[in-house]
Amino acid sequence: MSKLEISPVIMCGGSGTRLWPLSRAQFPKQFLPLVDDSSMLQNTLSRLPEQYHTPVFICNEDHRFLVAEQVKQLNLMQSTILLEPEGRNTAPAVALAALHAIKNNGDALLLVLAADHVIKDVDKFHKAIEVAITAAQQGKLVTFGVVPTHAETGYGYIKQGSKLSTKKSKGLDDCFYQVDQFVEKPDTDTAQRYLDSGDYLWNSGMFLFKASRYLEELAKHRGDILDNCQQAMAYVEHDLDFLRPNKAAFLACASESIDYAVMEKTDDAVVVPLDAGWSDVGSYSALWEVCPQDDNNNVLKGDIIALKTTNSYIHSQKKLIATIGVDNLVIIDTPDAILVANKDQVQEVKQIVAQLKADKRSEAVLHREVYRPWGKYDSVDMGDRFQVKRITVKPGAKLSVQMHHHRAEHWIIVSGTAKVTIDEKTMLLTENQSAYIPVGAVHALENPGILPLEMIEVQSGSYLGEDDIVRFEDKYGRA
């Protein structure tokens, strides 16, 4: 296949609530290094064959700078980031990517992948893609069905129909099958019957098809979705490295998955079996399964002392965790939250997140350390009418020109150089120097140097929420 014929489409949505407190709404699991030192998004990109066309990412407003930064770290500067005004499930999202591909790359083959999956055997994954390409070139809409290893109740299933093609490759049979049926997540007994029959595969949510064929089938079965997406892409806006489909047109679109909108209705749905160590890492028990385990079947990350501890997943970001005589536990320590759960009940973590949201607690949304396009901040202390943050500003980066109605700020430079503007006055500050910003003062902070700027910000006032920011100018398009 030539470089321009394959266009990976990476779906970067999802909040990963079952992996709280590591995963949060503003920094979900696809951006975390859960299995190794790279994020799950970066691992998804790294296992793509090099000859494929530069990828298209689909994400929301809140995560756009995370995607851009992690892609930049892999030197994929030619990628496209499509911003959904609001999540509308996979059918509209892929329609946006298909319309973009046809306009820019001709009738490319779209390889639709989630950003948060684990695939251990990359060679087998590549081989399954080759089989899928053969089917897609015949006009088929291909989904990848994972060969099940146990009676899993957390996945939907695909029932294989008749074999449509077989070819010999490296002495093995490669084939794809007509999709006989998509079935919802089963109960335990039904899942066991599926496993015993040998006719069912886990529904991975990965696809490959020609952009034109997907749009043809979408027009046939859900023309309303296609119409809205065409209108949204007809008035797409270019914003820095991002493409913004028209908001009003896209918000009028129905929320529907590819499976419901197209794959369950088309006569050309086929499935390629995938046996490559796949996991969607949907829970801590799944994460425990895909990570390297010690002699006691423990996964230990961080500063851990585990005595007489077995079958557990223990993860510490800051503190020492010591365990004695425990089995089958999940223990997660972050700077602002601790989770202790039985590994067999980790699906219930989402109920903790629901309770946090109902109580309007920030732990459901943010980590203590928050990333921004200009750098990051860590809320190291907070009390009645004050908050202390450690702020890191990347070289050449600048915070928005802004003001606050309810708080004053005191900035102390720890290292690096700060260009500080307060109303009409601009000054350069270096280590051990400081500046005071009164309530209502228009101010800006910039790092003009080549080294990171580290500083302490002390806020004081009657209200310290992040929504007390009035932006007048912003190089990242947030004003």
What pLDDT does 240 receive? 75
Q: What gap in Å lies between CA 272 and CA 260, rounded to an integer?
A: 19
Per the listing, tokens 């990963």 go with 16
What pLDDT does 170 receive? 44
**Per residue in 347-374, pLDDT tens?**
999 999 999 999 999 999 999 999 999 9
Amino acid at 141: L
Closest CA to 17 of 346, 326, 248, 303: 346
What pLDDT does 239 receive? 81
Average pLDDT over the chain, rounded to an integer: 93
- Let me know if residue 478 belongs to a domain: no
Residue count (the chain): 479
Given 232, 253, 279, which residue is the final one in a domain?
279
Q: Could you tell me if 386 and 454 lie in one domain? A: yes
- Let me know if residue 355 belongs to a domain: no
- Let me know if residue 358 belongs to a domain: no
Helices and strands in the chain, H and E counts: 11, 30
**Per residue in 9-24, pLDDT tens?**
999 988 889 999 999 9
Mapped onto helix, strand or coil, the DSSP state of residue 139 is coil
Q: What gap in Å lies between CA 454 and CA 144, rounded to an integer?
A: 47
What pLDDT does 106 receive? 80
Q: What is the mean pLDDT of residues 154-159?
A: 94
Amino acid at 22: L
Do the Cβ atoms of 353 and 20 come closer than 8 Å? yes
CATH assignment at residue 45? 3.90.550.10
Closest CA to 454 of 396, 408, 411: 411
Total count of domains within the chain? 3
Q: Could you tell me if 322 and 181 lie in one domain? A: no
- Let me know if residue 479 belongs to a domain: no
Q: What is the mean pLDDT of residues 260-281?
A: 96
- Let me know if residue 360 belongs to a domain: no
Q: Could you tell me if 151 and 291 lie in one domain? A: no
Instruction: For the beta carbon of residue 101, count every other beta carbon within 10 angstroms.
Output: 24
Using the predicted structure, report yes or no on whether residue 1 has a pLDDT greater than 50. no
Q: Name the pLDDT band for 166 (thresholds 50, 70, 90).
A: low
Q: Distance from CA of residue 171 to its chain's centroid?
A: 37
Q: What gap in Å lies between CA 40 and CA 98, rounded to an integer?
A: 24
Q: Could you tell me if 152 and 253 lie in one domain? A: yes
> Could you tell me the two tokens for 370?
């928050």
Which residues span the domain enclosing 201? 3-279
- Let me know if residue 356 belongs to a domain: no
Closest CA to 396 of 432, 457, 445: 445
Q: Could you tell me if 152 and 190 lie in one domain? A: yes
> Could you tell me the two tokens for 8?
């990976």
Higher pLDDT, 129 or 79: 129
What pLDDT does 430 receive? 97
Q: Could you tell me if 267 and 297 lie in one domain? A: no
Q: Mention every residue, 6+ apart, whose C-beta is less than 8 A from residue 366.
A: 24, 25, 26, 27
Q: Could you tell me if 114 and 232 lie in one domain? A: yes
Q: Could you tell me if 196 and 252 lie in one domain? A: yes
What pLDDT does 49 receive? 85
- Let me know if residue 62 belongs to a domain: yes
Q: What is the mean pLDDT of residues 427-453?
A: 97
Q: Could you tell me if 147 and 66 lie in one domain? A: yes
**Per residue in 383-416, pLDDT tens?**
999 999 999 999 999 999 999 999 999 999 999 9
Given 349, 377, 397, which residue is the final one in a domain?
349
Describe the crossing of helices 90-105 and 223-234 by its angle, rounded to 10 degrees: 50
Q: Could you tell me if 466 and 332 lie in one domain? A: no
Question: What's the number of CA atoms in the CB half-sphere (13 Å) around residue 187?
Answer: 1
Q: What gap in Å lies between CA 64 and CA 83, rounded to an integer?
A: 7
**Per residue in 444-474, pLDDT tens?**
999 999 999 999 999 999 999 888 999 999 9
Given 299, 318, 349, which residue is the final one in a domain?
349
Closest CA to 307 of 299, 317, 316, 296: 296
H/E stretch holding 230 reads helix 223-234
- Let me know if residue 364 belongs to a domain: no
Do the Cβ atoms of 132 and 272 come closer than 8 Å? yes
Flag the least confident range among 93-107, 159-173, 243-257, 285-299: 159-173
pTM of the model as a whole: 0.90
CATH assignment at residue 406? 2.60.120.10
**Per residue in 309-332, pLDDT tens?**
999 999 999 999 999 999 999 999
What pLDDT does 14 receive? 85
Q: Please calculate the CA angle 335-462-469 and round it to the nearest 5 degrees.
A: 75
What pLDDT does 5 receive? 79
φ and ψ at residue 36, rounded to 5 degrees: -145, -155
Q: What is the mean pLDDT of residues 332-351?
A: 96
Q: Could you tell me if 117 and 215 lie in one domain? A: yes
Q: Name the pLDDT band for 213 (thresholds 50, 70, 90).
A: very high
Q: Could you tell me if 316 and 437 lie in one domain? A: no
Q: What is the mean pLDDT of residues 211-233?
A: 97
